[in-house]
Chains A and B, each alone.
Chain A
Amino acid sequence: MTRSNRILNRLALVLLALLALTAAAFILRPEVERFVLEPLGLVVPSLGLAEAGTVLPIALIVLAVVVVIVALAVTVTRGRGADGTALDQEGVSVDAGLLEGLLRRELDGEDEVLHLRLRAFRARGRVLLAEVQVRRGADLANVHRRVSAAVATADEQLGEALPLVTHITTGLRTRFAGSTRTH
């Protein structure tokens, strides 16, 4: 639900993979020349690192700065998009926590639902993510029906059907809660 661009992630991985493989080819340059380049009739001129003077240290500093800046930018901006506001229009703002409380109240008494957490995201429009933790061996159709009913009530009270993703999952609570019985 975050704003991470997944295509860019893949491109970054491909780029880094190519960098790693190029570094390996540079380290194994004599073998690469003998077994790959020479049979293909390719000649790669020497990089002339020994004659590079101050160019090499400056190039290394620039490269390191660029990579560190990119690494910092990717790490810091990763997973952005979470927002505590479920609805914000015409001067009216509804907190996601309020909606979460409403859904929890509607699901109160449903033995198979252990926990509900609602988060709001802004990723090409506003979207809500409801994480519903259920008991082991829960009657999934029943859980789905109960969550749908709770969402319908919330829609009615809010006067609007907000884009919602419901994730039915398990978690630490499931591990300790035990399973539902079939008889």
Chain B
Amino acid sequence: MNERMRSRYGRRMRHRSRSVAVSIALWIAALPLVYLAIESVLELLGAAPLWQEPLQVIETVTGTQALRFGVAAAAVVIGLVLLVLAFAPGRLGRHELADERMLVVVDDDVLAGALSRAAASTAGLQRDRASTSVGRRRADVSLRPTSGFAVSKDDVDRATERELERLAVSPSIRARSRVESAGVVGR
């Protein structure tokens, strides 16, 4: 896989596609138009309208104060949501791992599990006593130690950093650990 393909597929894998949003938005736009088109066909054929003739529908919507503001507010909200969807980066919680042969993309929850595992192992704790949240550039590891047994935060930091170096995660992440003051008894 050449660098161009790697970069292209990497970007596609780490960013959300907007095709579902586009389909939904198009159908939302189509529904009132289809209704108005049906009324228009009935008007051109001289048949009775389903509700009102197209011009009357427009006049009703723009004439009634409450309806007017309600419909306009809905249109503004839809417009703003679509603008946010169009311009927001749409990043997915994924990172790439260094690999010469192929592009490797890993979900952040898998990465978090691996860091929790490294942290718990270093601290001598069971796996469920370490939890990690992974952001784009940062990972926060939280440990709940057994009461009466000290956990070295520096050792845990070194272990998680070593794990991240081993994986060569991209975009790079800095791990930060926190040892909770309230420990757990008996486990």
Interface residues on A, range: 35 or more
**A18 interfacial contact with B, CB 8 Å:** yes
> Could you mark each residue 21-42 of chain A with 1 if its beta carbon is under 8 Å from any beta carbon of chain B, else 0?
1011011110000000000000
Q: Is the CB of B106 within 8 A of A140?
A: yes
Q: Does A177 contact B (CB under 8 A)?
A: no
Q: List residues of B (97-116) whose CB comes within 8 Å of A's CBs.
A: 97, 99, 101-107, 109-111, 113-114, 116
How far is B44's CA from A61's CA once the two chains are assembled, in angstroms?
11
In the bound complex, CA of A1 to CA of B12 (Å) = 7
Is residue A65 contacting chain B, with contact meaning CB distance below 8 A?
yes
Q: How far is the CB of B15 from chain A (nearest CB, A)?
A: 8
User: Which A residues, 121 to 152, have Cβ-Cβ distances below 8 Å to chain B?
Assistant: 124-125, 127, 134, 136-141, 144, 147-148, 151-152
Measured between alpha carbons, how far is A96 from B26 in the docked complex, in Å? 34
Interface of A: prevailing SS: helix
The answer on a CB contact under 8 Å between A127 and B29 is: no
State the majority secondary structure of interface residues on B.
helix
Q: How far is the CB of A38 from chain B (nearest CB, A)?
A: 19
A43 within 8 A of B: no
Is the pair A165, B79 in contact by a Cβ cutoff of 8 Å? no
Q: Are A6 and B18 closer than 8 Å at their CB atoms?
A: yes
How many B residues face the partner with a CB closer than 8 A?
73
Give a binary string over A172-183; 1 marks a CB under 8 Å from any B CB, 0 the rest. Answer: 000000011111
At the interface, yes or no: B184 with Cβ under 8 Å from chain A?
no
Inter-chain contact A75/B40, CB cutoff 8 Å: no
B61 touches A151 (CB 8 A): no
Of all chain B residues, the one with the shortest Cβ separation from A27 is: B72
Chain B residues within an 8 Å CB radius of A155: 101
> In the complex, are the beta carbons of A56 and B40 less than 8 A apart?
yes
Whether A67 touches B29, Cβ cut-off 8 Å, given contacts A74-B23, A182-B121, is: yes
- Are A74 and B19 in touch, CB under 8 angstroms? yes
Q: Is the CB of B17 within 8 A of A139?
A: no
With A13-B18, A17-B82 in contact, do A71 and B166 touch (Cβ < 8 Å)? no
Bound Cα distance from A21 to B29, whole angstroms? 12
Q: Which residues of B contact A14 (CB under 8 A)?
A: 82-83, 86
Q: In the complex, A25→B75 CA distance in Å?
A: 9
A-B contact pairs, 17 of them (CB 8 A): A4-B17, A16-B25, A17-B86, A27-B75, A57-B39, A60-B40, A70-B26, A127-B1, A136-B113, A141-B163, A148-B102, A165-B13, A165-B104, A167-B106, A169-B107, A179-B127, A182-B127
